[in-house]
Amino acid sequence: MMDYQIKHITKKDAAPLLFKHHYLTNISNGFRVGRNYGAYDGGVLVAVCIFTGFPVPQLFKGIWGIEDFRHYDQEGFFELSRLCINPDYQGESKNTASWFVSRCIKKLKDEMNSEGGRVRAILSYADSDYHNGTIYAATGFKYYGLTDAKYNIWVPDENGKRLDVPGREEKYWTQKSRGWKEWLDKGGVKIPRGIKHRFLITYDPKLKKQIIWGEKRWSSSE
């Protein structure tokens, strides 16, 4: 892979590889606009790296203590929200994934600098049900422990099937949504969502001093 070309790709370009090889299968339309990169072997897309904006502005308060997070300048903050490599190519080198991530981060920073901006921070999560974040630890991310447990509410109807929640396309009711206690009273069941490892690179010198999250010792056995 070290000789492959890194190019910009669209979500449409990325979709087949993600659907076939990534456990989340797709890219949410709710993702804030970011930058998408792919690694090509000739004309074949063999790896995808998706950078989006921070998923929720409240993270600025949670990570750096920024109180007025809704009006904070969010340019230069990215989440590495999807990383996927075709397993047929990943086996070429144990460093394939970290090499690819490093190249994409460098390309992102170079592009931002050339446009008069800068990358201030990159956040990423590793779902503990699938992997422990070895790739991120190997590419300069700091480890900040696990997220808190969250739940979805599964609501069966009289036939034992999932009941659609009014006004939503999903088949579940999330813990943070209004009315979830009511659904529990109707026979809903709390289903735990995956706990995630938190990784972060903060490039902004001022923000480095403001980090509230406590850095943890990362171990490949976590």
**pLDDT tens digit sequence for 133-174:** 999 999 999 999 998 877 666 665 555 555 444 444 444 444
Beta strand pairing call for 196-202 and 142-146: antiparallel
At residue 16, φ and ψ (nearest 5 deg) are -60, -40
Confidence bin at 203 (pLDDT 50/70/90): very high
- Measured CA to CA, the distance from residue 153 to residue 187 in angstroms comes to 10
| Cβ pair 55, 33 in contact under 8 A | no
Stretch (H or E) spanning 48: strand 44-52
Question: Which domains does the chain possess?
Answer: 5-148+195-208 (3.40.630.30), 150-193 (no CATH)
Residue 51: how many other CB atoms lie within 10 Å: 23
| Cβ pair 134, 127 in contact under 8 A | no
Share of the chain above pLDDT 70, in %: 73
| Cβ pair 27, 17 in contact under 8 A | no
What is this structure's pTM? 0.80
| Cβ pair 13, 45 in contact under 8 A | yes
Q: How far is CA 221 from the centre of its chain?
A: 21
**pLDDT tens profile 91-139:** 555 588 899 999 999 999 999 999 999 999 999 999 887 788 999 999 9
